[in-house]
Each structure stands twice: as C-alpha cells, then as structure tokens.
C-alpha cells in the first residue's frame, strides 16, 4: 500500500484534513457554496430586469425556432420585420439554454418549466427535441444570416449570445463539441458556456465554479444561476481528439462521443512495429475531462448498461452513486486477488504507451513504474483538476516535486494531459478519498496507446464518463492516439 504523499509531493492547507473535506462536500451548504452562488445569496435578482437582459425579440426567437424545425436557414424569413429592427430593444446578454430532461432525476422537467417561464419557450431547448448541432447549423446560422443582411439586433445578439447547459458532463461535452463547428468553419465568436449541474459526477461543472449539484430546494437559485451565467467572466478549456484504429473488427456499441470515421491517420513519425492487417476501421471523438482504459471503465460500462435496462432504479445522483459503488465492489477491483491470478488484470498484458512530453516533438515510450506494474488496472489521462465527482487524484504538487519530475503546474488550458495509474480497488479508494495521490506517470501533449490481446479478448475504455467495450486480438494491435484540438472551448466561470 502506498504511503501518504510526502512533503515534496502534495500540499494541503494547514488545519485541513482530506476526510473532513470529503464529508463536507455532502452537505447542502457546501453544495450551495461550491455551486458558486453563495456570493449572490444577499443579492436580490429582479425577475423583470433579468428577463429584459436575456430575452431575445420575438421575431428572432420565432425565426430561429422555425429554422431549426425546418432544418433550413431560410425557414424563418417570414418573421423578418418589413420596417427593420432599428427600434427593437436588444438584450444585453441573450441566452440559449439546452436542458437534458432525463438528467437530475425527476427534477429535469420541473427545471425546464421554470426556465421557460423566466426566459421564453423558444430560448429553452429540450435536447430530446432539438439537438445542439441543429441549433448551430440552422438556428444560430439564421441569426448570422440576418446579422449579415444588416439587422442590427441580430448582429448584437450573435456577438453577445451565451449558452447554458443543464445536464451532466456528457451533455456539456456534447454541446461543446457541436459549438466546435463554429471554429472549424470560421464562424466566430464561439458563445461561452455556463453549466447547471444535473449529472452524477459533474466534474466539468465543478472545475468552472458551478458546483457538483443543483440546489433544487433553493427557489431563487435559477434566477441567480442565470444572472451569474450572463455576467460571469470567461476562460478557455482544452479539448482532445481521439482516434481509435481497430484491426478488421468494429466496435459493436460505441458511445455517443465516439463516431465511425471514413479515414483517419496516426502520426507517421512514430513507426508501427510488426505486421499490419489488410483492413482497419477508424473511430474518432473528442473529450474534455478524461480518457481512461482499464477497470474503472469496466465498472462504468456495467453501470451504464444497468441504468439503461432499469432506468426506474437510477432516479437522481444519489441513487446513481449507490449503484455505481455496487459495481465497483463487484467487477474485480477488490476481489481479484482472492478469485484469480491478479496479473491477468494488469494492463501490462496488453498496453504499450508512447507520449510527447512538454515542449517536445519526439515520441518517447513511457513504462509504468516497475514496482507496481504488475497490478495497475487503470490508466487515466486527465485534463481537469476534477475526476470522479470532484476528486483531485493528480494532487496539488509542490514546485520542488514538479521540477524533479519535469512537470509543470496542471491547468485545463495548458495543452497537456496528466497521466496517472490506479492499482486495485483499495488503492483507488484511498486516492478517491484524497488520502494519497495517484501514481504520476507523465504529462503529455500527445499520447499513443497500443493494445494487443495477450490474455484478454477485449478492453474497456471511456471518455468523459461514456464507456465502451473495445475488441482486441493477439495478431494485430489496436491503437489509440490522443492529440489536442487546435482551438479551445470557451467557458463561463461560475465563481
């Protein structure tokens, strides 16, 4: 068992113990504080004034919605005022809200109704009805068209519009990915994104000051949230492109974040050893928080399938966490040493890893430290400080330790991923309660993972909480390559 981090590794505030931090997170007051609303608790938000600042003119709201419904940028032309819009008041902070009604247990539909009353039905988009790429390609494009045609209000709205996503990390990532089309097509500016956390882990939300849960019992909470989303400062977030090259076979049930691709290519500067198959299939996707391979992804895979098969048992974050804990105890994290050869679970059987380090263009093979190679069961590449419902497994490393290891201070916009390892469930438990930090493997600007069957026929992977079962074989390697997307997402800070 690893000892607690030494003085040279991880720093904590004086008088603060990790167990007490873990316990305090569960309290309602801490939830509200972490949500970034405590500083607004004494501020009265006038409903009419808030609505005036957020509400788009009716003709633009209707035109935008018609364009989305008809999937035609010109679908709302009939709403264009013949006299122009010079006298139409423009909102200071026009806002579009995407809400996943299936997130947040039974509170999603209630929150949707509150939001529609505070803003308008047209500006609160149900993700069951309107997909974010439809908004980008038709709704936002409709506003851009009218702005280019000289409509002053449309121009101001396109320049100042902000997005709020009510959902979990997967929902936020979905919206961010679709907004990324704007960068690719030169349609700047990209609207900044605020978050109403309705998921289970909500690590993206925590990282940008929106907290780990939404205080549904706080009646004025939604007004304060929208106010903060309209005035909060913005910051950048790295996103990471993943390419999976599969020899011959296909991923049977890929997650939403992983799409089949006609053709992708791996970095040719790192040669592939051994024979190549006659046919390969490619998948690609983007993540914002983490990519992992191993036992943690297997637990997540079992949980997601259980939740899809029996959704009535997963009604809200608390129920989800209880079910997730059950899977953690049953999938081999803790009992492998009692039931089978533990070496069969170690990633050393299937995984070879290369990285490009800080300020380097050369690939370097990175072995997991030998003293615990045999029983590392999960390798995680982390972009944010938060992982697994607000934990910080990388730790707050002191300058001397950073210098010794050749690391830099971890940030979500530094173009680097922090790679760490988790061993058996006992080690992971101590890491997740922040009694120790995870095993630091590397910081990387690019990662190449090579997997070959060994004793395994399949591996489990996940991106931002979306897991899948990856087929692997003995004859040919499966490759996973991760590189930073050249543009960054824009987030609203809730703190």
Please determine, for residue 283, whether its predicted confidence score (pLDDT) is greater than 90: yes
The percent of residues in the chain predicted with pLDDT above 70, rounded, is 75
> Which is more confidently placed, 35 or 200?
200
Q: What is the predicted pLDDT for the residue at 83?
A: 53
Q: What is the predicted pLDDT for the residue at 213?
A: 83
Q: What is the predicted pLDDT for the residue at 445?
A: 96
Rounded to whole angstroms, what are the CA distances from 215 to 34, 154, 159, 188, 389? 11, 34, 31, 34, 16
Asked if 203 and 386 touch (Cβ cutoff 8 Å), the reply is yes
Give the pLDDT confidence of 440-473 residue by residue, as tens digits: 899 999 999 999 876 677 888 998 878 898 888 8
Residues 6+ apart with CB under 8 A from 370: none
Please determine, for residue 296, whether its predicted confidence score (pLDDT) is greater than 50: yes
Please determine, for residue 341, whether its predicted confidence score (pLDDT) is greater than 80: no
Q: What is the predicted pLDDT for the residue at 389?
A: 77
Tell me if residue 231 falls in helix, strand or coil.
helix
Q: What is the predicted pLDDT for the residue at 155?
A: 94
How would residue 438 be classed by pLDDT, with cut points 50, 70 and 90? Answer: confident
| CA-closest candidate to residue 438, choices 376, 371, 383, 349 | 376
Q: What is the predicted pLDDT for the residue at 3?
A: 37
Please determine, for residue 340, whether its predicted confidence score (pLDDT) is greater than 60: no
How would residue 131 be classed by pLDDT, with cut points 50, 70 and 90? Answer: very high
Cα angle: 53, vertex 56, 60; to 5 degrees: 165
Q: How far apart are CA 79 and CA 414, in angstroms?
A: 45
> What does the buried/exposed string (b/e) look like for 138-171 if buried means 16 or more CB atoms within 10 Å of the residue's CB?
bbbbbbbbbbeeebebbbbbbebbbbbbbbbbbb
| CA-closest candidate to residue 57, choices 181, 166, 143, 125 | 143
Q: What is the predicted pLDDT for the residue at 446?
A: 96
Please determine, for residue 4, whether its predicted confidence score (pLDDT) is greater than 80: no
Give the pLDDT confidence of 85-100 residue by residue, as tens digits: 567 789 999 999 999 9
Asked if 460 and 377 touch (Cβ cutoff 8 Å), the reply is no
Please determine, for residue 122, whether its predicted confidence score (pLDDT) is greater than 70: yes
Domains of the chain, start order: 44-232 (no CATH), 239-486 (2.60.200)
Q: What is the predicted pLDDT for the residue at 474?
A: 83
Q: What is the predicted pLDDT for the residue at 316?
A: 52
Q: E strands along 349-445, which residues?
A: 351-356, 364-365, 378-382, 417-422, 439-444
DSSP label at 136? I
Q: What is the predicted pLDDT for the residue at 6?
A: 38
> Which is more confidently placed, 57 or 88?
57
Region of 388 (left: φ > 0; alpha: ψ -120 to 50; beta: rest) is left
Asked if 132 and 175 touch (Cβ cutoff 8 Å), the reply is yes
């Amino acid at each position: 068992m690893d000892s607690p981090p030494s003085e040279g590794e991880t720093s904590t505030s004086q008088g603060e113990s990790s167990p007490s931090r873990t316990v305090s997170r569960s309290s309602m007051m801490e939830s509200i504080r972490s949500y970034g609303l405590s500083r607004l608790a004494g501020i009265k938000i006038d409903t009419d004034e808030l609505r005036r600042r957020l509400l788009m003119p009716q003709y633009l709201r209707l035109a935008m919605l018609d364009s989305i419904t008809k999937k035609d940028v010109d679908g709302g032309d009939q709403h264009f005022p013949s006299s122009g819009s010079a006298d139409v008041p423009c909102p200071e902070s026009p806002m579009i809200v995407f809400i996943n009604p299936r997130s947040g247990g039974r509170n999603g539909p209630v929150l949707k109704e509150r939001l529609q009353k505070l803003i308008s039905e047209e500006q609160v988009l149900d993700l069951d009805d309107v997909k974010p790429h439809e908004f980008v390609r038709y709704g936002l494009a409709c506003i851009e068209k009218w702005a280019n045609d000289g409509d002053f209000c449309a121009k101001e709205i396109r320049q100042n519009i902000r997005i709020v996503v009510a959902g979990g990390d997967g929902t936020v990532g979905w919206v961010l990915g679709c907004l990324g089309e704007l960068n690719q097509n030169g349609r700047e500016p990209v609207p900044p994104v605020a978050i109403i956390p309705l998921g289970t882990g909500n690590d993206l939300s925590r990282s940008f000051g929106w907290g780990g849960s939404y205080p549904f019992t706080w009646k004025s909470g939604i007004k304060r949230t929208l106010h903060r989303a309209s005035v909060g400062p913005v910051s950048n977030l790295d996103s990471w492109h993943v390419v999976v090259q599969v020899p011959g076979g296909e991923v049977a049930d890929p997650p939403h974040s992983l799409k089949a691709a006609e053709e992708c290519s791996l970095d040719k500067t790192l040669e592939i050893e051994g024979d190549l198959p006659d046919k390969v299939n490619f998948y690609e996707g983007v993540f914002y928080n983490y990519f992992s391979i191993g036992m943690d992804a297997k637990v997540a895979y079992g949980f997601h399938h259980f939740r899809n098969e029996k959704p009535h048992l997963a009604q809200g974050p608390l129920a989800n966490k209880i079910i997730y804990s059950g899977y953690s105890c049953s999938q081999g994290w803790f009992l492998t040493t009692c039931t089978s050869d533990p070496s069969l679970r170690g990633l050393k059987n299937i995984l070879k890893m290369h990285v490009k380090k800080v300020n380097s263009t050369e690939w370097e093979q990175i072995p997991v430290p030998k003293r615990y190679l045999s029983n590392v069961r999960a390798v995680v590449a982390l972009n944010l400080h938060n992982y697994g419902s607000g934990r910080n497994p990388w730790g707050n490393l002191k300058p001397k330790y950073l210098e010794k290891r050749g690391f830099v201070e971890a940030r979500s916009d530094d173009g680097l991923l922090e790679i760490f390892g988790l061993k058996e469930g006992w080690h992971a438990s101590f890491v997740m309660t922040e009694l120790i930090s995870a095993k630091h493997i590397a910081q990387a600007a690019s990662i190449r993972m090579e997997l070959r069957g060994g004793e395994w026929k399949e591996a489990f992977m996940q991106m931002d909480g979306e897991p899948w079962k990856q087929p692997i074989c003995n004859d040919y390697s499966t490759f996973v390559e991760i590189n930073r997307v050249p543009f960054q997402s824009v987030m609203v800070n809730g703190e």
